[in-house]
Structure 1
């Protein structure tokens, strides 16, 4: 199942071969029976917390129909673990996970390592595994944009001294134990909450 976070709301995409849940959604849409290009016009995603389910046979086709008016951007980042502590950043007054846009011809895992090094000032974190992928929308330079984020779990054994990248509006970077993740959860984005759930067993 894929999820797209739109402000306070979420659209989930479910393969038609899977069992469709009967509860928990404001609307369940079968991609064969609905004009998907108009789906986003049906709800005020900012003012209310809407949860939609779109059932698909061809994810890429259906996804592009729903978000036809959006520009696509690829990004990657991850949660770094060192001595049972985990690295998080604060940006624009919200807790976040270091991440950033892929450069030309760059693979997601390469971008994740580079962005973490740049945004936190550490060197040499190594990929443990892919946690998962999320999507979220926002406005970038006046253009509607949907960002696909690859999220990784990374290990690190170097110095825990950090240097937040101020030019990226990062005000602090901290190492905390998993028992303290409630600090992050109390002031972060829904998409980051999703990544934290992905990393619960790590």
Structure 2
């Protein structure tokens, strides 16, 4: 399981998968859920400086992941990377480049949420394609620890004549960019979890 804390990647590995870990990361062997949350607290308090990744090698993968998740309130969301004429749809929200997404409403499937959110945030009509993957990131809301899981999908735009940013969601731009331009903007000025999903999307093309 991989999740982000203030753009710091935290990844939990089963012991048999430890060979995948980069030696540039901070590696903790025989880790527990308590250790994962200890480093979570250090990052949240600003006690970790510089760019690094935290990798936790565990003996009981399912239990540690379950225990870590129980430390948070889980929220699910969905979004997509929409394409048209070989261009990709990006939004600019709260000072960073981003991809359209939003929280799942009661009774919705991830696919339904993804389509609704992309259409609402960008003023377009889309059809949904294959799932790209999931991203996880944490934040605090009203004193509660939140772990958000976002489901991501490929999409085709079928109508964009009403292209418009949903300003009440903090979006000030909705733009079509070439794949190369989109990659440059996301890598240079977006969130680490968004960079991950974009690169995963790129690997499927």
The reply to whether TM is greater than 0.5 is: yes
TM, length-normalised to structure 1: 0.88
The aligned residue for residue 28 of structure 2 is 28
> Which whole-Å CA distance do the structure 2 matches of 1:137 and 1:22 have between them?
23
> Which whole-Å CA distance do the structure 2 matches of 1:97 and 1:58 have between them?
34
> Which whole-Å CA distance do the structure 2 matches of 1:94 and 1:22 have between them?
28
> Which blocks of at least 5 consecutive residues in structure 1 are unaligned?
none
Task: Note if contact 2:32-2:64 (Cα within 8 Å) is conserved in structure 1.
Answer: no
Task: Note if contact 1:185-1:193 (Cα within 8 Å) is conserved in structure 2.
Answer: yes
> Which blocks of at least 5 consecutive residues in structure 2 are unaligned?
none
> Which whole-Å CA distance do the structure 1 matches of 2:22 and 2:168 have between them?
46
Task: Note if contact 2:3-2:10 (Cα within 8 Å) is conserved in structure 1.
Answer: yes
Paired residues in the alignment total 197
Give the superposed CA RMSD: 2.0
Change (3 A) 1:119 1:60: farther
Task: Note if contact 1:25-1:51 (Cα within 8 Å) is conserved in structure 2.
Answer: yes
Spell out structure 1 runs of 4+ moving beyond 6 A: none
TM, length-normalised to structure 2: 0.86
User: For each residue in 1:97-140, what CA deviation from the matched residue of structure 2 results, as whole angstroms up to 9, or x when unmatched?
Assistant: 000111112111111001001111112x1122111111000112
- From the two aligned structures, give the one with the greater helix fraction: 2
